[in-house]
């Protein structure tokens, strides 16, 4: 059976973008593979080393979201990176064999430096971000890594590191493949990409009332200034929700209503809101129950940490042997 490894940085509560971008995929994978899903809390420090205070809370919040959407600790190993110190040891050993230019020409590295202006990214840790990621992946001898397209260069680099390690020392690691996640794109409430930093998100933990309030105010085709102005669904961010959530009949009905000004935007949105609420109500209910029992969440992580560490220790024994350490 193939092994899958994937991680997420602890950003706190997750939104629908995370759900369609990664989590639905994880839910499928946990049924078919040996999966390791973890909180990449050390990676959070690479861009935010000066503010570590939120990491514990954000870790718990994110794991609660994972569990409430159906990630199952009996199927996948769910754990926290910083609790399996072997990742750090392997990262250190990799850092000896990784040429710095491999890191400097990484497109994701260059993009982030351009995008995250105002952050101090001049550190050794940030440059070495993908080396740590390579350790995360290979310590479980992963064959497949489900990630979004922005993370593909990191997996590519992991393959290069594996080839080099296997050649210099001993053939211990499989070369992991990227499993590119085909995310269904959902815009945020303002029409831009759904993102925590834009404050335009529907959170998985939102109550039905909050979902209704948020989506009722979502932007629509700007051509529909008055109720009598016709619109074009493809120019409307709210219509993207219809495409994911509504039935074929409903989509046909609102498209026609939009183009003929036969339906008002609020009535149109109500149709998809009903579906979003139906999907998220059980999730936010489960989440509320978990939030009452934070100790259970900690126990689940502790058990996952132990399982992960067992495998990581095995690998590191082989690695030390290969180096004669
Ligand atoms: N870099 C990933 C991200 O920001 C998170 C991550 C860390 C990861 N280690 C990983 C993903 C290993 C896949 C495999 O999304
Ligand atoms: Fe968007 Fe519906 Fe309004 Fe058309 S009627 S602009 S699809 S919300």
Q: Each residue of 117-176: pLDDT tens digit?
A: 888 999 999 999 999 999 999 999 999 999 999 899 999 999 999 999 999 999 999 999
Same domain, 149 and 13: yes
Residue at 197 is within a domain: no
User: For the segment 271-283, what is each residue's pLDDT rounded down to a tens digit?
Assistant: 999 999 999 999 9
Q: How many CB atoms lie within 10 A of CB 300?
A: 20
Residue at 63 is within a domain: yes
User: For the segment 50-76, what is each residue's pLDDT rounded down to a tens digit?
Assistant: 999 999 999 999 999 999 999 999 999
Residue at 265 is within a domain: yes
Residue 198 contacts residue 192 (beta carbons within 8 Å):
yes
Residue 184 in this model has a pLDDT that exceeds 90 = no
**Phi, psi angle pair for 35, to nearest 5°:** -110, 140
Count up the domains in the chain and report the number.
Answer: 2
| Closest ligand relative to 222 C-alpha | 2
Which residue carries 């101090």 as its tokens?
Answer: 120
Distance from Cα 33 to the centre of ligand 1, integer Å: 18
Segment 317-325 long-range contacts (CB within 8 Å, at least 24 positions apart): 318/170, 318/172, 319/90, 319/93, 319/169, 319/172, 321/170, 322/169, 322/170, 322/172, 323/93, 323/169
Residue at 192 is within a domain: no
Residue 170, SS3 per DSSP? coil
User: For the segment 238-288, what is each residue's pLDDT rounded down to a tens digit?
Assistant: 999 999 999 999 999 999 999 999 999 999 999 999 999 999 999 999 999
Give the Å distances, CA to CA, from 51 to 41, 47, 48, 71, 118.
12, 10, 6, 29, 14
The reported pLDDT for the residue numbered 185 is: 82
| Closest ligand relative to 146 C-alpha | 1
For the beta sheet containing 3-8, the strands, ordered from the edge strand earlier in sequence to the opposite edge, are 76-80, 34-39, 3-8, 144-147, 177-180
Give the Å distances, CA to CA, from 124 to 47, 53, 73, 95.
11, 21, 34, 11
Answer yes or no: is the C-beta of 224 below 6 A from any ligand 2 atom: yes
User: For the segment 23-54, what is each residue's pLDDT rounded down to a tens digit?
Assistant: 999 999 999 999 999 999 999 999 999 999 99
Average pLDDT over residues 320-325: 98
Answer yes or no: is the C-beta of 5 below 6 A from any ligand 1 atom: yes
Same domain, 125 and 34: yes
Same domain, 211 and 240: yes
The reported pLDDT for the residue numbered 117 is: 87
Distance from Cα 322 to the centre of ligand 1, integer Å: 26
Same domain, 301 and 251: no
Residue at 199 is within a domain: no
Q: Which among 196, 171, 205, 192 has a CA at the least distance from the CA of 66?
A: 205
Same domain, 145 and 63: yes
Same domain, 160 and 225: no
Same domain, 132 and 265: no
Same domain, 126 and 92: yes
Residue at 196 is within a domain: no
Residue 213 in this model has a pLDDT that exceeds 80 = yes
Same domain, 63 and 15: yes
CATH number at residue 268: 1.10.240.10
Which percentage of the chain shows pLDDT scores above 70?
100
Residue 183 in this model has a pLDDT that exceeds 90 = no
For residue 227, give its domain range.
205-287
CATH number at residue 128: 3.40.50.620
Which percentage of the chain shows pLDDT scores above 90?
94
């Amino acid at each position: 059976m193939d092994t899958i490894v994937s991680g997420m940085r602890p950003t706190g509560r997750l939104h629908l973008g995370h759900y369609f971008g990664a989590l639905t995929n994880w839910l499928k994978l946990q049924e078919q593979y040996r999966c390791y899903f973890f909180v990449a809390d050390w990676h959070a420090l690479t861009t935010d080393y000066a503010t570590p205070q939120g990491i514990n809370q954000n870790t718990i919040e994110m794991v609660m979201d994972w569990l409430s959407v159906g990630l199952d600790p009996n199927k996948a190993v769910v754990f926290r990176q910083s609790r399996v110190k072997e990742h750090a040891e392997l990262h250190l050993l990799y850092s000896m064999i990784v040429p710095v230019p491999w890191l400097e020409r990484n497109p994701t590295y260059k993009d982030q430096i351009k995008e995250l202006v105002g952050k101090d990214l001049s550190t050794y840790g940030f440059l070495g971000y993908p080396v740590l990621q390579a350790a995360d992946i290979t310590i479980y001898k992963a064959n497949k890594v489900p990630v979004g397209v922005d993370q593909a260069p990191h997996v590519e680099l992991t393959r290069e590191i594996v080839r080099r390690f296997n050649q210099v020392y001993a053939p211990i690691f499989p070369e992991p493949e990227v499993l590119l996640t085909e995310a269904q794109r959902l815009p945020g409430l303002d029409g831009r990409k759904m993102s925590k930093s834009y404050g335009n998100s529907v959170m998985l933990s939102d109550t039905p009332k909050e979902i209704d309030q948020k989506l009722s105010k979502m932007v629509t085709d700007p051509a529909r200034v008055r109720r009598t102005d016709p619109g074009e669904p493809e120019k409307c961010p709210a219509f993207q929700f219809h495409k994911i959530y509504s039935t074929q009949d409903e989509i046909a009905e609102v498209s026609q209503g939009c183009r003929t000004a036969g339906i008002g935007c609020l009535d149109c949105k109500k149709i998809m809101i009903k579906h979003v609420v139906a999907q998220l109500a059980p999730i936010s209910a489960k989440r509320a129950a978990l939030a009452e029992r934070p100790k259970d969440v900690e126990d689940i992580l502790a058990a996952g940490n132990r399982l992960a560490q067992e495998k990581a220790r095995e690998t590191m024994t082989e690695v030390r042997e290969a180096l004669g350490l």
